[in-house]
Amino acid sequence: MAFNTFLRRCSSLSETKISSLFTNSCKVTATIRQDSVYNVENVSRLNIFLRKDCKQGNITVDEARYFFSVMIHMQPKPPISSFNRLFGALAKKKFYEDIILLYKRLDSMGLMPDLITLNILINCFCNMGRVRDGFVVFWRILRGGFNPDAVTFTSLIKGLCLENRSLEAMELFKKMAVFGVRPDIVCYGSIIDSLCKDGLIDEAKELFLEMKSRGMKPNVVVCTSLICGWCFVGNLEEAESLFVEMGDQGLQPNVVTFTTMINGLCKEGKMEEANGLLELMSQRGLQPDVVTYTTMISELCKEGEMEEANRLLELMSQRGLQPDVVTYTAMRSGLCKEGRIEEANGLVELMSQRGLQACSL
């Protein structure tokens, strides 16, 4: 319903209003060079820039602006695919505002974009938290006679998810079939992650099973999202089941996966199992991070296991990890509960020396 309503609103937009989207889209202080000239040296450098540097991501914003200026002053002008290559390289480096500014110049010169150009624009807007503007470009795709593809929908769905609009993302997800587009693993992963963060685990599991039924093998990111979701709602059994299934499928859980499972086990008071996962991480060559250790330390302090908590704190330091405010606050709280006030005050002083502000207990 929301998606259909949005399309109806978009249909009332005039070309002038759509153009103004790019005219007022951003402010970039640096100016684009206007003194580029068409010569053999510039053309040679441009070819290297487009075919090698852009492909490898070895570019700067200043270089992109310079070669863009070279391109728009060439006669005849390069094909839109050349501009897409430049925009794509900038997008990988997250220079979204610069892309929109350069596109405005391109648009004002009457150079027609293709689907790839417009997909890049949608990606820029959605990553900037401007999914509404992304949908305006989506309407331009339809008005231009292009067929939106999986990239188009995935960008919009990710944009909606970033704005915590998972139900609207689900609605758009279902509309993909209307356009004859099948979602890919990235699209599934984005919406599953968003649903899990919103506590809509049943809906996320349904999509997970649908994805598998379509022959798509779940990746670590998708599995980790579901494990996080199940741990969040306290369904440790489902989380443990999927964690084991990952191993059976040859998927290597990452630090986030392990930390999530450890957190879930700690909340259930299963400290022995949590410690076993901590050791398993090291055996698999994964370095537990501050969040992993702090999760364990916090629960140990609640249980009064201060010696074990202190052992982990020392282990953190040995591995070059700097405890944060949450770590120290947990330790301080545990020490205070045991009446070890002098040690607790020592931690406060240590925090102060390290520039950390102690939290009130």
Structural domain contains residue 269: yes
Structural domain contains residue 105: no
Do both 281 and 310 map to the same domain?
A: no
- Residue ranges making up the domain that contains 257: 217-288
Q: Per-residue pLDDT tens for 43-79?
A: 667 777 777 778 877 888 998 898 888 888 888 888 8
89, 148, 86, 91: which is closest to 114 by C-alpha? 148
Structural domain contains residue 246: yes
CA distance 57 to 86: 10
Residue 35's pLDDT is: 45
**How many domains in the chain?**
2
Structural domain contains residue 142: no
Q: Per-residue pLDDT tens for 129-181?
A: 999 999 999 999 999 999 999 999 999 999 999 998 998 999 999 999 999 99
Are 149 and 183 a contacting pair, CB within 8 Å? no
Q: Per-residue pLDDT tens for 323-334?
A: 888 998 999 999
Are 255 and 241 a contacting pair, CB within 8 Å? no
What does pTM read for this prediction? 0.76
**Of 256, 288, 320, which marks where a domain is finished?**
288
Do both 224 and 281 map to the same domain?
A: yes
**Of 288, 318, 350, which marks where a domain is finished?**
288
3-state percent helix, strand, coil for the chain, nearest multiple of 5: 70, 0, 30
Structural domain contains residue 350: yes
Element (H, E) at 167: helix 166-175
Do both 269 and 221 map to the same domain?
A: yes
Do both 280 and 313 map to the same domain?
A: no
Do both 255 and 314 map to the same domain?
A: no
Structural domain contains residue 59: no
Structural domain contains residue 337: yes
Do both 223 and 273 map to the same domain?
A: yes
Structural domain contains residue 277: yes
